[in-house]
Amino acid sequence: MSVEILIWGCLAGFAATATMDVFAALFNRVGLTAGAKGQWVGRWYLGMLQGRFIHSDIADFPEQTGEKQAALAGHYVIGAVLAVFYLSGALWLDVPPDSFVSAVGYGLATTIFPWLLVLPCLGFGVCGRKGPVELKLFRSSLMNHLSYGLGLWWTANVVPLG
């Protein structure tokens, strides 16, 4: 993997994650989504450092110092790593990374992580089906990751890839 791929991937990942956050705030404001609380995800990350990976209900796990900061840092690092994989995979498959269908499709595909990993580990079940209905977990993660894909597409069209 080249340094250029790492740099572009990190830049695209940060931009796509920021796009996701902006759209999440807009979707939340109009009532389309809600999502899990960020501090719960940070609490989960910090709990992993203590050897606790799966919770029956993350809200019952004691609050951790720095959980909001951990959530934000983890969110952007994961966004960057996923973008590096996107760019590497697109180049390997000879698919233009600035393709709308590829970028948005990849963003939607990344929804598998919250549906099958994060939400179950927080105690909300597969696809968030055991979580509080008012959090709209399934729809929130779908819409957020769609926005991530839009951010990847936008970045790939703004940053020349040589």
Region 96-124: mean pLDDT is: 97
Q: Assign 1 a pLDDT band (cuts: 50, 70, 90).
A: confident
pLDDT of residue 162: 42
Q: Assign 161 a pLDDT band (cuts: 50, 70, 90).
A: low
Q: Note the pTM of the prediction, 2 decimals.
A: 0.94
| Number of neighbours of residue 53 by Cβ within 10 angstroms | 10
Residue 159's Cα: distance from chain center in Å?
Answer: 21
Task: Calculate what percentage of the chain has a pLDDT beyond 70.
Answer: 98
* Domain coordinates in residue numbering, the chain: 3-158
pLDDT of residue 159: 77
Region 69-96: mean pLDDT is: 96
Given a cut of 80, whether residue 89 has pLDDT beyond it is yes
**Mean pLDDT value across the chain:** 95
The residues, ordered by sequence, that sit 6+ positions from 36 with a Cβ below 8 Å of its Cβ are 58, 118, 119, 122, 124, 128, 131, 135, 137, 140
Given a cut of 80, whether residue 5 has pLDDT beyond it is yes
How far is residue 154 from each of residues 9, 100, 101, 136, 147, measured CA to CA in Å? 13, 9, 12, 27, 10
